[in-house]
Amino acid sequence: MARVTVEDCVEKVPNRFGLVLFAAHRARGISSGSQLLVDRDNDKNPVVALREIADDVLVPDELREGLIASLQRVDERSEAEEEAETLALLADPQHMHMSEQELVRALQSDRDGGQEERY
C-alpha cells in the first residue's frame, strides 16, 4: 500500500476519534517492541498502525479491549483491607482527641492514597 488514508481506515473503524485512539495505542505498542503485522516500508509507527487497521490485519474489537485494559487503574486493596485500616485508625488512641472534621479528613486522605487536595 503506497499511502494510507483516513477513508481507508474509517471503513474499518467508523468513529474517527476511536480510530485515532486505536492507532495511537497500536503505535505505542510498536514502539515498545510489538511485532509488526505489515511491512514497514520506511514508515513511522503511526502510519504502520493505520496500515495495519486498513489492511484488516488488526481487529478493532481487540484493539478496543487492549486500549481499555491499558487505561484502567487496578485497585489492589480489597474492601476488607480498607475496612481493617479504617478500624485500626479509629482504634488508635491518638485519634480519640481529633475533631470529627479532622477524622473525616484523615479517613478521606487514607482512602485517596494519602494525596492531599490541591484545589
- Show me where the domains of the chain are located: 6-71, 79-111
pLDDT beyond 70 at 117: no
Query: What does the pLDDT read at residue 113?
Result: 65
> What is the identity of the amino acid at 11?
E
pLDDT digits (tens, 9 = 90+) for 39-88: 888 899 999 999 999 988 988 888 888 888 888 877 677 778 878 877 87
pLDDT beyond 70 at 8: yes
Query: What does the pLDDT read at residue 109?
Result: 79
pTM over 0.85: no
Phi, psi of 65 (to 5 degrees): -65, -40
Query: What does the pLDDT read at residue 119?
Result: 41
CA–CA dist 53, 41 (Å, integer): 16
Domain 6-71, second-level architecture: Alpha-Beta Complex (3.90)
